[in-house]
Each structure stands twice: as C-alpha cells, then as structure tokens.
Amino acid sequence: MDLHSLNLLPPTFLSHGSPMTALDGREAGAFWATLGATLGDGLLREGPMPRRVLAVSAHSLTREPVLLGAAHHEAVYDFGGFDPQLHTLRYDAPGAPALAERVQALLRDAGLPVHRVDEGGLDHGIWVPLRFALPAADVPVLPLAWPPDWSPARLFALGEALAPLAGEDVWIVGSGSITHNLPRVFGSGLRPPVDQPATPESTAFRDWWAARSAEADWPALFDYRRQAPFAELMHPSDEHLLPWFVAAGAGGRLHGAVRVHQSLTYGDLGMDAYAFGAAAERLGALLTKA
C-alpha cells in the first residue's frame, strides 16, 4: 500500500439523479450514506470526515470558472413539477471562503481563468447527495461553477490543477449523471416506473465507460462522443457527464477510475459513482465490505 494514499481523500463523481432522490434515495441514497460514513469514520484515512467539500455540479454553469465563496449556503430548489415536499427540505451548510482563496491560487498558477463571488447557494446536484453523505450539514462547501463548452480534456486539466486539495482534507465531488436523456425517459409525458428494467443502450454505455475508466484510457474517454456506444443517445448534451472529468483530473492520469457504485432509475438514468486517484481502489474495497 502506498502510504501517501492513506492521506488522500479520493475525488469522487456522483450521479445525483432526479430531485426525488432526496425523498426516496433508493440504492444510490444508501450508497451515499455508506460513503459518507466510510470517510467520516476514518476507515479510509486517519482523522475525521472531510474538513471541506469542493463541489462541481452539472447545475452550476458559467462562462468561466467561478467560485461561490459565501460564508453560508442554503439549498436552492432549481427544479419544478416535483413533489412539493422537496421544498421543505433544507441543507444549510457553512461556506468555505478560505478554501476559495486556495482554489483561486491553484487555478491561476495553472494558467486557468477563475473568478470569485461572495454569493452562495447549493443546487440540487450538490445538496441532494450531501444530505445523505454528510447529513449534519456541518462541513463547509465550496461550489465551483464551470463552463460547459470546455472540452473533456480541458476540464480534466482543471481537475489536475485541483489535485493538491486531496491531501488537504478536501473532498472533491463532481455531481452529474453517468447517463442523462430526460426527453427519452419522460418524453411521453408519463413518468415510467422508477424500477423499470435497464435499457440495453444505457447498459452498453455504462459498461463501456466502466471498462475504459478502469484502464485509465483517457484518450478514449476524452473522445467518448465518437467512441462510446450510444453516446449521443445517452447524452444529447453533455453537461451532466462533464463534471466526471474534473474529478478524474484531480485523481491524476496514472490511476484508473474505480466504479464504486452502480444502480439505475427509470430504466435509463444511471446512478453510477466513481472514485479517482491513489486511494480509489482502497475506498472501493471498503465500500464493498460495508
């Protein structure tokens, strides 16, 4: 075991799914809770749970990277047409202004544009999984809004610039969806059963992704829209997949990505989660035992 990896928090990608996951977490919610407990109990590393979270969500998009450096955050209900009970759920987490300064310096040193605003708010791609993983809402969170027109390779480079944070008690979380075609799922106007069997197209894409990830085949993954089966069907637009590359970059090129969870909703929307970097395999083994 690389002793250095014992001091790292593996960057992670979480598929956050529908906002309804906040009320009925199903398999993904149970996984998020186990993941948070594994990190918080010091099973992966010495010491307490993450001291701070850097969150990169598919629902916080800007023309250039922007850090939301407020001292306090509240849940943002950035959706409509769902159970009104969702609007009663809260996630009032502290912000991380000092971490914003650190991230700003890292990105500038890498030659990347970055802005900081003293504004807050956690979109549902952030607060829904964190309500399960860190339910006390006492860990400071720093959202990093990002440009959806950046290529996978450039977003990977953005993640590489953030890599030092994994050794500084910062949990880097990319939040999106491993497959995401809502018109395909809900286009009829009717919501299909949440436990509908997997479609072959979703399975093929997700399995291809897991195989290429395990082999650290970054060129294929960067070129996924051309190489992956059913890529455009699973991602007509790719903003829900691109946070994966930021988290992957933070884990580094030398290590393959580990799929630490796989489940499905509505037959098509994958809830898969990935861990990256030197400690990813160890985290995967711990989660398997949990």
CATH number at residue 105: 3.40.830.10
Residue 248 contacts residue 159 (beta carbons within 8 Å): yes
pLDDT in tens, 135-169: 999 999 999 999 999 999 999 999 999 999 999 99
Number of domains in the chain: 1
Specify if 157 maps to a domain. yes
Per DSSP, the three-state class of 275 is strand
124 vs 60: CA distance, rounded Å: 10
CB 256 within 8 A of CB 216: yes
Alpha-carbon radius of gyration of the chain = 17
Q: Is residue 160 part of a domain?
A: yes
Indicate whether 174 belongs to any domain: yes
Q: Residue 40: give the domain boundaries.
A: 3-189+237-289
Q: What is the pLDDT of residue 6?
A: 53
4 torsion bin: left (phi>0), alpha (psi -120 to 50), beta (else): alpha
What per-residue confidence (pLDDT) applies to 72? 98
Q: Is the pTM of this model over 0.85?
A: yes
Does the pLDDT value for residue 104 go beyond 60? yes
Least confident of 3-17, 128-142, 203-217: 3-17
**Rounded mean pLDDT of 226-245?**
97
Instruction: Report yes or no on 228 lying in a domain.
Output: no
The residue whose two tokens read 């489940």 is 263
Per residue in 81-93, pLDDT tens? 889 999 999 999 9
> Is residue 27 assigned to a domain?
yes
Within-domain flag for 129 = yes
- In the predicted structure, residue 193 carries a pLDDT above the cut 50: yes
- For the cut 60, the answer to whether the pLDDT of residue 4 exceeds it is no
**Residue 147 Cα to chain centre, angstroms:** 16
pLDDT higher than threshold 80 for residue 77? yes
Does the residue 210 lie in any domain? no
The mean pLDDT of the chain is 93
Count of CB atoms within 10 A of residue 191's CB? 12
Residue range 186-196: mean pLDDT, rounded: 77
Rounded Cα distance, 272 and 228, in Å: 16
In a domain, 122, yes or no: yes
pLDDT value of position 40: 84
Indicate if the pLDDT at residue 1 is higher than 50: no
